[in-house]
Amino acid sequence: MKHSRWNLLPPAGGKYLAGASAPSPLIAQLLCNRGLTDPARRESFIAADRRLLADPFLLPGIEPAVARLYQALLSGEKVAVYGDFDVDGITATALLVQGMESLGADVVPYIPHRMTEGYGLKTAALEKLYREGVSLVVTVDCGITAIPEVERARRMGLDIIITDHHTPLPETPPAVATVNPRLPGSAYPFLELAGVGVAYKLLQALLRGVGKEAELEGMLDLVALGTVADMVPLLEENRYLVKEGLKSINASPRLGLREIMTRAGLPPGSVDSESISWVIAPRLNAAGRVAHALSSYRLLMTDSPPEAEGLTMWLEQKNTERQRLTERVMTMAREQILAEGVSPLLLASDKDYPAGIVGLVAGRLSEEFYRPTIIVKSGEQVSSGSCRSIPEFNIVLALQQCSDLLSHFGGHSRAAGFTLPTRNLPRLKQRLLELAVAQLEGVDLRPRLDVEAEVTLPELGGDTFQAIRQLAPFGQGNPVPTFLSRGVKVIDCHTMGNSGEHLRLKLEQGNTVWDGVAFRVGDYLAEVSSPLDIVYNVEMDRWGGGKRLRLNIQDFAPV
């Protein structure tokens, strides 16, 4: 088993423990770990209310964007919302179409096909929209690096408004307006909005001007889905957007979401950020990975029960197909990496790697080997790659340093993508490897597991779990708390799952018995001895319709 470096965070001390409203020592420790030392910030974090919402008019480019949209509304222009094929892009497209339709706009969605068109603005697609009478295109979750495409659109008389959250290049496209909190000189107080978050702020500004801002509440479910799925930090404004969106999903889910929840066995009222990450988002993403993402868009927008049922069943099939493809490509890519030898940066390429799967495989292998990992679908003339990285290596900055070899690229520090002429692939691999060797020299390339507190299993009883859930929604920037318990007795341990890939344990400490599960480590049954030191999260297991707390074990070591 590839064990982690356990990093036990320093104790909070007694600074939180005075006063009538002081939290318990454990909750105080969790708040301290999140930098919430000020009582006002602590209260705001837990309340996660409208105080976290920033003024949309602080966003760069928002005023010309709103003015151009009002012009389109007043003159009856045909507008296209051009999104990405992941959950962030799909939900942003649905949000903006739904919001603009509520204002009477003539608006159509456009989501490119991952396999035949690829990511981002494409000139052929813009020309097609122009021929169909579209005079204004609003991008969501893409466009910030599409300089030649926007220049071509402008020459043909097609206006472009860009809304994006990805890192801009030194030069931005010549759009009518570019709305992105990351632009230089931005006065916006929070840079970590998802693509759907930026689209939401544009719609907020648009609806505020006509006194219809209250209509946004019915669309926060879409914002929560895209924000959680895109793995942006669930802090500040994102905390409010996701918390309110989850309330909406649990109270009155839109028809398509309700069908997904029913088919996946998610009980009504039980959806949290983890459910989105592990259950809902993979299904919505499956359409774009192995077919066309427009089907997931239609599912989120439909009010027809037969259509919702049919699309959900189709998505289930595509998700199963996606799982099968992922396992096959994982095996091929891992064998290729091991044959070449594990280096500070891993790159595997093959003409048979499906474009919709390479990002998943890169993520899994980056996690397994704790290296920046790139999986490339190679073609005769053009190849496309998906990158996943580790905190110690900013992959999008590395790609910037190789931009002369690339046709297109973009993304974040931990996840990015690119296309390039296939003849440049060997040089790209060599240059990225040189950057990784230089930057990662002396770095312990094992995953670091931050442990929030050392506790005994009896301390987790009573209302401790409910107190921890006050810090939800959990996600990037606000992780599910991870605990360490030492010297835990193992009463029982056996494999579970179809191929025995997981471990199920029964653990005892201080006359308290807990169930535990360790995923994807079934091959390491022989490493389990008693007693154990364990690092874990506490979670609610809803398997089979019941509700029972259990430990989700992240790592273990013999005492």
Cβ proximity of 105 and 76 under 8 Å: no
Looking at residue 109, its pLDDT comes to: 98
pLDDT tens-digit map of 405-462: 999 888 888 999 999 999 999 999 999 999 999 999 999 898 889 999 999 999 998 8
DSSP 8-state assignment for residue 475: B
The sheet with strand 134-140 has its strands ordered as: 106-110, 78-82, 134-140, 159-163, 177-179
Q: Confidence band (pLDDT; 50, 70, 90) for 93?
A: very high
Which candidate, 131, 130, 99, places its Cα nearest to that of 196? 99
Question: Is the domain of 510 the same as that of 453?
Answer: yes
Cβ proximity of 315 and 296 under 8 Å: yes
pLDDT tens-digit map of 381-393: 999 999 999 999 9
What are the angstrom distances between the C-alpha of 486 and each of 456, 490, 558?
7, 12, 9
Tokens standing for residue 400: 């910037």
Q: What is the mean pLDDT of residues 77-88?
A: 96
Question: Is the domain of 457 the same as that of 544?
Answer: yes
Distance (Å, whole) CA 447 – CA 371: 9
Q: CATH code at 371?
A: 3.10.310.30
Question: Is the domain of 425 the same as that of 494?
Answer: no
Cis amide linkage into residue 447, ω under 30° from 0: no
Question: Is the domain of 164 the same as that of 191?
Answer: yes
Q: Confidence band (pLDDT; 50, 70, 90) for 545?
A: low
Distance (Å, whole) CA 455 – CA 465: 13
At what angle are helices 87-101 and 195-208 packed, to 10 degrees? 10
Higher-pLDDT residue of 339, 500: 339
What residue type is assigned to position 473 of the chain?
A: P
Which candidate, 100, 103, 185, 112, places its Cα nearest to that of 143? 112
Question: Is the domain of 33 the same as that of 60?
Answer: no
Which candidate, 318, 348, 320, 91, places its Cα nearest to that of 222? 91
Looking at residue 50, its pLDDT comes to: 93
Q: Is the pLDDT of residue 486 over 80?
A: yes
In a domain, 528, yes or no: yes
Looking at residue 22, its pLDDT comes to: 58
Distance (Å, whole) CA 48 – CA 241: 9
Question: Is the domain of 540 the same as that of 407?
Answer: no
Most confidently predicted of 1-5, 114-118, 168-172, 220-224: 220-224
Q: CATH code at 527?
A: 2.40.50.460
Question: Is the domain of 372 the same as that of 432?
Answer: yes
What residue type is assigned to position 426 of the chain?
A: P
Q: What is the mean pLDDT of residues 465-488?
A: 94
Beta bridge partners of 490: 507
Tokens standing for residue 35: 């930098």
Which of 167, 201, 231 is where one domain is finished? 231
| φ, ψ for residue 357, nearest 5 deg | -110, -20
Cβ proximity of 326 and 361 under 8 Å: yes
In a domain, 260, yes or no: no
What does R_g of the chain's alpha carbons equal in angstroms?
24
Q: Is the pLDDT of residue 19 over 50?
A: no
Calculate ∠ Cα 27-30-36, nearest 5°. 105
With a CB cutoff of 8 Å and minimum separation 6, the contacts of 462 are none
pLDDT tens-digit map of 96-146: 999 999 999 999 999 999 888 888 899 999 999 999 999 999 999 999 999
Q: Is 285 helix (H, G, I), strand (E, B) or coil?
A: helix
Strands (E), 435-531: 448-451, 453-454, 483-496, 502-509, 512-518
Least confident of 80-84, 158-162, 544-548: 544-548
Looking at residue 20, its pLDDT comes to: 40
Question: Is the domain of 102 the same as that of 209?
Answer: yes
Side-chain half-sphere exposure of 234, counting CA atoms within 13 A: 31
pLDDT tens-digit map of 355-382: 889 999 999 999 989 999 999 999 999 9
In a domain, 116, yes or no: yes
Distance (Å, whole) CA 223 – CA 219: 7
At what angle are helices 305-340 and 358-369 packed, to 10 degrees? 50
Question: Is the domain of 74 the same as that of 130?
Answer: yes
Q: Confidence band (pLDDT; 50, 70, 90) for 33?
A: very high
Which of 171, 201, 231 is where one domain is finished? 231
Number of domains, the chain: 3
In a domain, 327, yes or no: no
Distance (Å, whole) CA 423 – CA 383: 9
In a domain, 189, yes or no: yes
In a domain, 298, yes or no: no
Q: Is 521 helix (H, G, I), strand (E, B) or coil?
A: coil
Query: What region does 142 belong to: left with phi over 0, alpha with psi -120 to 50, or beta?
Result: beta
Which of 414, 439, 464 is where one domain is finished? 439
Looking at residue 15, its pLDDT comes to: 55
Looking at residue 410, its pLDDT comes to: 84
Question: Is the domain of 500 the same as that of 375?
Answer: no
Q: Is the pLDDT of residue 1 over 60?
A: no
Counting beta carbons within 10 angstroms of the beta carbon of residue 387, is it exposed (0 to 12), middle (13 to 18) or buried (19 or more)?
Answer: buried
Q: Is 56 helix (H, G, I), strand (E, B) or coil?
A: helix
In a domain, 399, yes or no: yes
- Domain range holding 462? 5-37+449-558
Q: CATH code at 93?
A: 3.90.1640.30
In a domain, 287, yes or no: no
Distance (Å, whole) CA 255 – CA 258: 5
Cβ proximity of 171 and 147 under 8 Å: yes
Helix (H) or strand (E) holding 538: strand 532-541
Cis amide linkage into residue 184, ω under 30° from 0: no
Question: Is the domain of 82 the same as that of 204?
Answer: yes
Which candidate, 63, 68, 227, places its Cα nearest to that of 137? 68
| φ, ψ for residue 551, nearest 5 deg | -100, 125
Q: What is the mean pLDDT of residues 187-203?
A: 97
Tokens standing for residue 345: 């940066």
Question: Is the domain of 167 the same as that of 104?
Answer: yes
Round the average pLDDT of the chain to a whole number and report it: 93
pLDDT tens-digit map of 50-61: 999 999 999 999
Cβ proximity of 257 and 91 under 8 Å: no
- State the greatest distance between any 2 C-alpha atoms of the chain, in Å, as a whole number: 75
